[in-house]
């Protein structure tokens, strides 16, 4: 079974500082990786995903993540954060079960951006 480890449960940063949220996954022949964001009192939204090809994937709001197969990592980065980036961030990997696909989530990282 696939598993995802998010090493940091909470990450506090100041506005305009860079941030990295770490994610490691269990190795597999092929893997699809996702970052979802959950703002307070809302459902989850896809931030970005890696399926194949270029190992660097970007989102429309300035986040990027790099797939590193040798280190089995998919860390999320942003060079300059805003107050509005305060949210819970979940890393996830896709897993096949009984012929269907499902997401396996990490425990989440709470990003708090302070003024």
Partner 1 sequence: DTEVTQTPKHLVMGMTNKKSLKCEQHMGHRAMYWYKQKAKKPPELMFVYSYEKLSINESVPSRFSPECPNSSLLNLHLHALQPEDSALYLCASSQEGRGTDTQYFGPGTRLTVL
Q: Which is nearer to partner 1, 35 or 113 (CB)?
A: 35
Beta carbon of residue 102, minimum distance to partner 1 (angstroms, whole number): 5
Beta pairing, strands 56-58 & 64-68: antiparallel
Report the SS3 class of residue 84.
helix
Least distance from C-beta 38 to partner 1, angstroms? 8
Q: Is the torsion defined by CA of 53, 111, 10, 14 positive or negative?
A: positive
Given a contact cutoff of 8 angstroms between Cβ atoms, the answer to whether 101 and 94 are in contact is yes
- The least CB distance from residue 16 to partner 1, in Å, is 27
Minimum CB distance to partner 1 smaller for 9 or for 115: 9
Query: Where does this chain bind partner 1 (CB under 8 A)?
Result: 32, 34, 36, 41-46, 49, 51, 90, 94-103, 105-108, 110
Cβ atoms of 77 and 60 closer than 8 Å: no
């Amino acid at each position: 079974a696939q598993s995802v480890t998010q090493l940091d449960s909470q990450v506090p940063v100041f506005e305009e500082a860079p941030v990295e949220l770490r994610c490691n996954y269990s190795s597999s022949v092929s893997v699809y990786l996702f970052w979802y964001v959950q703002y307070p009192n809302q459902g989850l939204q896809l931030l970005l995903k890696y399926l194949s090809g270029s190992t660097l994937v970007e989102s429309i709001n300035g986040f990027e993540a790099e797939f590193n197969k040798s280190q089995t990592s998919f860390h999320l980065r942003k060079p300059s954060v805003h107050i509005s980036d305060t949210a819970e961030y979940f890393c996830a990997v896709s897993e096949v079960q009984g012929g269907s696909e499902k997401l396996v989530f990490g425990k989440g990282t709470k990003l708090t951006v302070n003024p």
